[in-house]
């Protein structure tokens, strides 16, 4: 008896589980049923923990134990009233914003040229973009330590060989190294959304613009760029959020005392073990990040409306 025949003879072999009423209900469901396990998981392990995180910001927490009836707004107040806090927050913001801008500047040409390539070249380019995306951020930070670090580092060797500098320069552990690291590490997150909108765009509109006598540069700025605003918004929001909340890059490339808001969160939670202060910073970091992302989305809407108004 061959395998198929045997299976036919014993139809109940796999039926036990497969025809369980629960399985049947899930398969035929047009309802919310199959999503319930994941929903429950996220409620228990995301919604409740995040509520707890925010509430810790108002409570006194001693070695992981909440002190009962210790509700107070004082922790937020003391953070917001601290000059140092604002200086650190400002640094987090401008490092994030600047690296996002440079990312956009570097990513757009890649995404734009991608749409002019043949299918093999497109595949290769995607490998070059996605492979770094799937490589651990730590590995890429390490690469920059190798490149920028020390007198024998690659950067200094090249600069000295070319005669651009006379003495080795210090790049690691400065603003520069943090900016370079953030820009490079988040580049794929900017390129992919841009590719998505630029591939989907209608090239005929650009051809029409060219045929009507506009130059290529003018066509780009008046047609292509406005059409790609959704991709710019998606990429910018994502890269800013990632840069603003990253603490690994400032810590490893900025030297031991390069503090941003995210680094402070890490230090309060893991090193100093002051969970209340950590929760305050984490809440403020998350809240402000959310506001900035909304601002980026809003700016995109305004830009789109503005170009549409100008065209009509």
233-272 positions binding other proteins, by CB under 8 A: 241-242, 245-248, 252, 262, 265-266, 269-270
Dihedral, CA of residue 289, residue 293, residue 298 and residue 302, to nearest 10? 120
Tokens of 91: 């640094």
Of the candidate spans 75-83, 149-157, 228-236, 297-305, the one that interacts with other proteins by CB under 8 A turns out to be 149-157
Give counts: helices (H), strands (E), the chain. Answer: 18, 2
Tokens of 205: 């509109």
Per-position x/- string for 157-176, each x denoting binding to other proteins as judged by CB under 8 A, each - no binding:
x-------------------
- The beta strand positions in the chain, using DSSP E, are 61-62, 65-66
Closer CB to other proteins, 218 or 308, in the complex: 218
Rg, the chain, Cα only: 26
Instruction: Rule CB under 8 A: choose which of 112, 226, 288, 307 binds other proteins.
Output: 112
Of the candidate spans 37-45, 68-76, 81-89, 92-100, the one that interacts with other proteins by CB under 8 A turns out to be 37-45
Closer CB to other proteins, 33 or 77, in the complex: 33
Of the candidate spans 52-60, 90-98, 170-178, 295-303, the one that interacts with other proteins by CB under 8 A turns out to be 52-60
- Tell me the backbone φ, ψ of residue 165, rounded to 5 degrees: -130, 160
Closer CB to other proteins, 258 or 275, in the complex: 275
Q: 62-91: which residues touch other proteins (CB under 8 A)?
A: 64, 66
Q: 61 by DSSP, 3-state: which?
A: strand
Closer CB to other proteins, 139 or 306, in the complex: 139
Q: Does 30 bind other proteins (CB under 8 A)?
A: yes
Per-position x/- string for 197-236, each x denoting binding to other proteins as judged by CB under 8 A, each - no binding:
--x---x--xx--xx---xxx--x----------------
Instruction: Rule CB under 8 A: choose which of 2, 4, 12, 119 binds other proteins.
Output: 119
Q: Is residue 96 a contact partner of residue 185, using CB atoms and an 8 Å limit?
A: no
How many residues line the site for other proteins (CB under 8 A)? 107
Instruction: Rule CB under 8 A: choose which of 29, 272, 298, 302 binds other proteins.
Output: 29
Closer CB to other proteins, 64 or 83, in the complex: 64
- How far apart, in Å, are the Cα atoms of 127 and each of 139, 193, 200, 261? 17, 15, 20, 34
Of the candidate spans 29-37, 80-88, 164-172, 299-307, the one that interacts with other proteins by CB under 8 A turns out to be 29-37
Residue of 110, 107, 176 lying closest to 148 (CA atoms): 176
Instruction: Rule CB under 8 A: choose which of 79, 88, 89, 107 binds other proteins.
Output: 107
What is the smallest separation between the CB atom of 139 and other proteins, expressed in angstroms? 4
Tell me 34's DSSP state.
Answer: G
Instruction: Rule CB under 8 A: choose which of 3, 5, 73, 134 binds other proteins.
Output: 134
Dihedral, CA of residue 65, residue 70, residue 74 and residue 79, to nearest 10? 10
CA distance 261 to 246: 9
Q: 180-199: which residues touch other proteins (CB under 8 A)?
A: 183-184, 187-188, 191-192, 199
Instruction: Rule CB under 8 A: choose which of 89, 95, 129, 179 binds other proteins.
Output: 129
The 8 Å CB, 24+ separation contacts for 134-141 are: 137/185, 137/246, 137/248, 137/249, 138/248, 140/181, 140/184, 140/185, 141/181, 141/185, 141/248, 141/249, 141/252, 141/253
């Amino acid at each position: 008896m061959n395998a198929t025949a045997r299976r036919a003879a014993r139809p109940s072999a796999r039926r036990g589980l497969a025809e369980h009423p629960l399985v049947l209900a899930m398969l035929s469901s047009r309802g919310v049923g199959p999503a319930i396990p994941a929903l429950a998981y996220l409620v228990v392990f995301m919604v409740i923990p995040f509520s707890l995180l925010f509430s810790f910001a108002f409570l006194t927490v001693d070695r992981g134990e909440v002190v009962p009836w210790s509700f107070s707004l004082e922790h937020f107040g003391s953070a917001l009233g601290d000059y140092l806090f604002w200086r650190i927050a400002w640094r987090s913001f401008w490092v994030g914003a600047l690296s996002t801008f440079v990312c956009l500047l570097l990513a757009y040409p890649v995404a734009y040229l991608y749409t002019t390539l043949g299918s093999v070249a497109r595949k290769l380019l995607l490998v070059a973009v996605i492979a770094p995306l799937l490589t651990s951020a730590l590995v890429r930070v390490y690469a920059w330590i190798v490149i920028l670090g020390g007198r024998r580092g690659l950067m200094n060797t090249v600069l000295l060989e070319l005669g651009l500098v006379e003495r080795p320069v210090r790049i690691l552990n400065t603003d520069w190294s943090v900016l370079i690291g953030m820009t490079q590490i988040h580049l794929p997150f900017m390129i992919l959304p841009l590719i998505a909108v630029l591939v989907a765009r209608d090239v005929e509109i650009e051809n029409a613009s060219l045929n009507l006598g506009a130059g290529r540069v003018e066509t780009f700025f008046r047609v292509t760029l406005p059409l790609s605003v959704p991709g710019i918004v998606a990429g910018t929001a994502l890269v800013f959020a990632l840069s603003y909340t990253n603490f690994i890059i400032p810590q490893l490339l900025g030297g031991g005392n390069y503090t941003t808001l995210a680094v402070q969160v890490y230090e309060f939670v893991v090193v100093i073990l002051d969970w209340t202060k950590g929760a305050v910073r984490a809440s403020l970091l998350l809240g402000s990040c959310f506001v900035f992302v909304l601002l980026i989305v809003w700016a995109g809407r305004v830009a789109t409306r503005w170009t549409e108004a100008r065209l009509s």
